Amino acid sequence: MKPENSDVEAAYAHLHEPHNAAIGQRLNWLRAGVLGANDGIVSVAGVVVGVAAAAPGNVAAIATAGLAALVAGAFSMAGGEYVSVSTQRDTEKALIAKEIRELEEMPEEELAELADLYRQRGLSPELAQQVAVELTAHDALAAHAEVELGIDPEEYTSPWVAAFSSFVAFTIGALLPFLMILIPSGIPMLNTAAAVVLGLVLTGWISARLGGAPILPAVVRNVVMGSATMAATYLIGLAFGVAMA
């Protein structure tokens, strides 16, 4: 018998309820936001530095390219996130529907399967059996979702929220190089490069802190990768600008 759609929805929502996962979930969100901002900084910095190198002083061209990169990047990030979270969600729902049916139709086999999975994780046969029996009595579907299907309750579940957050995070990051290159004081390219390096120090530092990783290597990696991007587009822009002139 196929489970009702509403049963699957309810089971899905229940599995993703924040039990003690609330902090982990918040960290996941924050990490995704920092990554999105980092993406915005690097890709728009690459574009405006490249165009500025090819067409020095052409503010209209630089602003147009920067704005186009900002908008395209934000939509592309949001769309990618929407598709990925939607697909993940559909996959999980299909797995849950199948699991609900199996738990109804062959509870003994499912119990044996669960005990087997705990044995494979290193429990003694007796303890594995006991754990399987007790977890089945408590919340059979949750136990199967975790051990058998590997569904992570900390994963975020709304494709629209995920899309919107990436859009905002990317835009915030992208505004840094976009605004810096347009400020007409000093040498805009150098101001931009300096601001981008500072931004990359910040995002590298925050993501290392969130992940509990050593700070310095994370910051250095982040700054080197972002600077390499700017250097590459700068050189390409320079070569292109000379070729065009």
List interacting residues with Zn ion (CB under 5 A).
Answer: 110, 144, 148
Measured from the CB atom, the residue of 90 and 109 that comes closer to Zn ion is 109
Query: What gap in Å lies between CA 100 and CA 94, rounded to an integer?
Result: 10
Measured from the CB atom, the residue of 112 and 235 that comes closer to Zn ion is 112
Q: Which residues of 10-20 are buried (b: 16+ CB within 10 A; e: fewer)?
A: ebbeebbeeee
Closest residue by beta carbon to Zn ion: 144
- Return phi, psi of residue 72, to 5°: -60, -45
Alpha helix (H) residue ranges in 106-213: 107-120, 125-147, 159-182, 188-211
Kindly state the smallest distance separating residue 83's Cβ from Zn ion, in Å: 28
Rg of the chain over Cα atoms, rounded to whole angstroms, equals 25
Measured from the CB atom, the residue of 92 and 110 that comes closer to Zn ion is 110
Measured from the CB atom, the residue of 121 and 209 that comes closer to Zn ion is 121
Measured from the CB atom, the residue of 106 and 224 that comes closer to Zn ion is 106
Kindly state the smallest distance separating residue 112's Cβ from Zn ion, in Å: 10
Query: What gap in Å lies between CA 126 and CA 94, rounded to an integer?
Result: 32
Kindly state the smallest distance separating residue 141's Cβ from Zn ion, in Å: 9
Closest residue by Cα to residue 65 from 223, 227, 181: 181
Kindly state the smallest distance separating residue 152's Cβ from Zn ion, in Å: 17
Query: What gap in Å lies between CA 244 and CA 235, rounded to an integer?
Result: 14
CB–CB of 55/62 below 8 Å? yes
Kindly state the smallest distance separating residue 114's Cβ from Zn ion, in Å: 7
